[in-house]
Amino acid sequence: MLKKALLALPVAMALGATAHAEKPPEEVLQGLIDAIDSTYLTQSEMNIMMMPDNPALWVGMDGEDLFHTPRGPNNVSMEACDFGKGPGVLEGAYVEMPRYFEDTGKVMDLETRIVHCMTEVQGFDPDDPAVTRRHGSGSDHMKIQTYIAMQSNGMEWNNPLEHPLEQAMRDAGEVLFARRAGMSDFNCYACHGETGKRVRASQLPAVDVPEEWTKAISWPAHRVGHDNVRSSQHRVRGCYYQMRQPGMLAGSDASIALISYWTDLARGQPAVLPDMKR
């Protein structure tokens, strides 16, 4: 197994054997930058330069260990888990989530599917910290999410909408996106409705510019300001906080509906995984 002693090598190279990447994430991002004129995509030269040494790459390497090691009361590895393309198949799995899973009859995003795998396949108690700790680079969740997501780097977002429940969740997510509530009357369009907008110094991605939106939804990403790798669910929570609305419960059907819609908005654009954000 790869260990941190390899730090001298560029991390991306060390990971080359496992990460799906004809192009490393920084080149995927460069392709988007070349395709359109966008203040959002180019806002941090520093981050773009740092991407070959993205700390999230290390978090993903830890995730690789965790994923392939037999764990939990049942002592099985996550290779036994189906992320949509069959047990243990990770290449391209994440860009096709959220999706409907027959074994649960539900539409699930990556995070809820990992929870399912931990509790149902590995046998972890739902209250075990491995299951409940969702945030921070040191959490099992972020490590495993990052590892799985990296196997979709450069691939096009393409969450399936064939199943009626997939379509229903996507459509409800569209309503949630537009839904105003709370002390500020905000919906997601208030800040993400138009390209070239800033909240204070932060350049915002626009929902109707897919080249921007694909980077926006490319989580896990190392958030420089937080010095931690963050997830989609964490981002959703942050935006509702700014909107003066209550936090979405992690893994709630509402959060999965929202993520189904936001993934649909980036359909056909390549994912930047892992990404770096401000």
Partner 1 sequence: MFKKTPMAAGVAAFATLLFAGGSAVADTGNGYAVDYTAMTPHELAEYLIFEANDGGGFNLSQEMQEGGTARDRMQQDELQIACSLIDNADPDPETAAAIREAAGESIVYPEGGIQLGDWERGRELAWSGFGYRVGHNYDDHDARPVGGTCYNCHQMATDRTGGNVGPNLTGYGKTRGTSEAVLKYAYDMIYNPHVYFPCTHMPRFGASGFLDDESIADIMAYMFDPESPVNE
Residue 37 makes contact with partner 1 by CB under 8 A? no
CB 182 within 8 A of CB 22: no
**Could you confirm whether 239 is annotated as catalytic?**
yes
Tokens of 80: 């036994």
Residue 184 makes contact with partner 1 by CB under 8 A? yes
Question: Which one of the listed residues 81, 117, 188, 239 is annotated catalytic?
Answer: 239
What minimum distance in Å lies between the beta carbon of 262 and partner 1? Answer: 14
Neighbours of 270 (CB within 10 A): 24
Q: Which of residues 199-218 bind partner 1 (CB under 8 A)?
A: 199-202
**Cα dist. 31→28, 176, 195, 249 in Å?**
5, 31, 18, 35
User: Looking at beta carbons only, is 147 or 186 nearer to ligand HEC?
Assistant: 186
What minimum distance in Å lies between the beta carbon of 93 and partner 1? Answer: 20
User: Looking at beta carbons only, is 141 or 230 nearer to ligand HEC?
Assistant: 230
Tell me which of 257, 259, 266, 271 binds partner 1, using CB under 8 A.
257
CB 270 within 8 A of CB 32: yes
Q: Which amino acid is at 211?
A: E
Place of tokens 């419960």: 249
What residues make contact with ligand HEC under the rule CB under 6 A? 186, 188, 190-192, 199, 202, 204-205, 216-217, 235, 239-240, 242-243, 258, 262, 277-278
Residue 42 makes contact with partner 1 by CB under 8 A? no
CB 145 within 8 A of CB 114: yes
Residue 182 makes contact with partner 1 by CB under 8 A? yes
CA-based nearest residue to 69, from 129, 118, 19, 108: 118
Residue 242 makes contact with partner 1 by CB under 8 A? yes
What minimum distance in Å lies between the beta carbon of 244 and ligand HEC? Answer: 9
What minimum distance in Å lies between the beta carbon of 105 and partner 1? Answer: 3
Q: How far apart are CA 68 and CA 71, in angstroms?
A: 9
CB 238 within 8 A of CB 64: no
Angle, alpha carbons 22-258-137 (nearest 5°): 55
DSSP secondary structure code for residue 67 in this structure: H
**Which residues are designated catalytic?**
239
List contacts with partner 1 (CB under 8 A).
102-106, 164-165, 167-169, 171-176, 178-187, 189-191, 193, 196-202, 237, 240-242, 244-249, 252-255, 257
